[in-house]
Amino acid sequence: MKATTHVMEQMMRKYPVGIQTFSEIIDGGYLYVDKTDLIWKMAHYAKFIFMSRPRRFGKSLLTTTLESYFKGDKALFEGLKIMQLEKQWTRYPVLHLDLSVAKGQDDAEGLRQTLMWMMNPLADVYGRRDDETTPGKLLTGLIHRAKEKTGRQVVVIIDEYDAPLLDALHDQATLDAMRKVMQEFYVPLKANEAYLKFCFITGITKFSQLSIFSTINNLVNVSLDETFATICGFTEDELRTTLWPDVERLATHLKITPEQMHNRLKQQYDGYHFAAGAPEVYNPFSLLKCFLHRKLSNYWFASGTPTFLIKQMQHFNTDITSLDSLYVPESAFDQPTENMHDALPLLYQSGYLTIKDYDPDTEAYLLSIPNQEVRVGYIDGLLPTYTGLSSGDVQIGFAAKFWKALKQGDIDLAMRHMQSYLAGIPYVEGFKQKLAEATAREGFYEYTFYLIFSMLNVYARTQVKVAGGRVDMVIFMPDAIYVMELKVGDTARHALDQIDARGYAKPYLADGRRVVEVGVSFDAERLTVDDWLACTAQPPKH
């Protein structure tokens, strides 16, 4: 009977996919992973707080939880961690503004009108004067009247503060004009500090305080603060406790063990770090979607790679093959979006890169792609941009054949599949004029191989530093590591000899997996593999 009850409990789990309102999740009996102890800490940490997190990472749920807390909705928090911390439950007036409603505005006047319209529901509650004709003036009036009406200081919560600006990043004139509207809107937050109890601002990117929050010089940025590193996303401990019944249910459905299921989920959705030394977190949106649909998939990218990101990566000629391992100072990725000299800050703040390690001696961070979902997802969007290949063509027929051959350890069969595939693929229209120059360089084939391997859920790295130089490509399979040297206008024999002569395979011989050396030559005219040679690397004799 107990076993049956346990199964029924799992079957009755309600997942809050698409639901971002704390009160609706609690009242509706949806699954909630308790973050309320961190909510309480944040509410008492500073008066003005800013935090950036990637899209679909629970920022909106965080803002609505803060709203319920400051409104004193004690009943919603019964049984949660915050009950051990909060004793007063004072009710404050809350002005909660979601700027996602202003997304897609393409001029300053449209943005101004949308901001005014966004505040209409609050004006219905607290009133509006005729001379409040700008967003900043109306917000000032709302703050004053809310305090006068309730006798308490006001809480201001702003979600997706950067939504109106992201699509204008590539257009400096439009960005400057829209930024002035946003500056005027935020002025009241500092000017009316005495009226405010708490102010929380969140979004994806980090615009400088000088250009957007021009007068809020005491805004505390907790984006890289270890205290709040796990306030968005699910930790390993939360997966092993609160979410473990869901892991077991999914494992049963897919006919594997819970531990096998856990390993797959970890590879697919885990790997984000939002502070040096902080625990890893899983993408909450993707994990819940996976539990709901009982299928591992790339849910984070269901709506495609954001246009603003693609445009900025093209603008800065970003080398995507370098993104698996970047040692950089904090200033390289935690900097204002409008001061970027490359796409790195946007890639990090958008969740396409994350912190993997930190060296306190050099104060350098190791940034890398978080997990397989991100690797496959953003490459799906970038494949046509970087190689002229269609991601749809990569996935049809060839993918299964190539993967199966590699999995069986048959490099000859895999390369024959690659050869025939590359020789017959259609390139994206408008890209062909670039091929004559691009295909004369080995870098073109590095991009092509890298993107195709990544599309197939195969972990690949390019230009890997070893003692003897740089390896063109290293491919990591479950039971084998392939060390590849690529040549254009040279022989496969020369490529294979270079791997041996420079000891490219040596760092991987102690891994335990079979290490295969592969030399590949390309035909630049036919745009495909010309020849290849492979051999198994032998560990040194003792």
The predicted-structure confidence for 158-181, as pLDDT tens digits, reads as follows 999 988 888 787 788 888 899 899
293 three-state secondary structure: helix
User: Average of pLDDT values for 254-260?
Assistant: 96
**Does 205 have pLDDT greater than 90?**
no
Q: In 3-state terms, the chain is what percent helix, strand and coil (to 5)? A: 45, 15, 35
Query: What mean pLDDT is predicted for residues 124-137?
Result: 97
- The residue extents of the domains of the chain are 33-228, 307-368, 388-536
Q: Which CATH class is domain 388-536?
A: alpha beta
Q: Is 169 in a helix, a strand, or coil?
A: coil
% the chain with pLDDT above 90: 54
Q: Is the pLDDT of residue 251 over 50?
A: yes
Please provide the average confidence, as pLDDT, over all residues in the chain: 86
Give 12-27 pLDDT, tens digit per residue. 799 999 999 999 999 9
The correct CATH number of 33-228 out of 3.30.70, 3.30.1360, 1.10.3210, 3.40.50 is: 3.40.50
CA distance 448 to 464: 16
33: left (phi over 0), alpha (psi -120 to 50) or beta: beta
The pLDDT of residue 3: 43
Longest pairwise C-alpha distance within the chain: 88
| Whether the predicted pLDDT of 393 surpasses 60 | no
What 3-state DSSP class applies to 99?
Answer: helix
Residue 138 has pLDDT above 90, yes or no: yes
In sequence order, the 6+-apart residues with CB closer than 8 A to the CB of 52 are 202, 203, 204, 205, 206, 223, 349
- Is pLDDT of 310 > 50? yes
Whole-number pLDDT of residue 390: 59
The pLDDT score that the predictor gives to residue 6 is 44
Number of residues written out for the chain:
542
Distance CA 325, CA 303 (A): 27
pLDDT at 384: 64
| Residue in this structure with the two tokens 């299921």, named with its chain if needed | 261
> How would residue 279 be classed by pLDDT, with cut points 50, 70 and 90?
very high
The confidence score (pLDDT) of residue 4 equals 41
Q: How many CB atoms lie within 10 A of CB 202?
A: 23
- Specify whether the CB–CB gap between 151 and 91 falls below 8 A: no
pLDDT tens per residue, range 460-506:
788 888 888 888 889 888 888 999 999 988 999 999 999 999 999 99
Q: Could you give the CA distance from residue 379 to residue 389 in angstroms, rounded to a whole number? A: 11
Per-residue model confidence (pLDDT) at position 7:
44
Per-residue model confidence (pLDDT) at position 2: 41
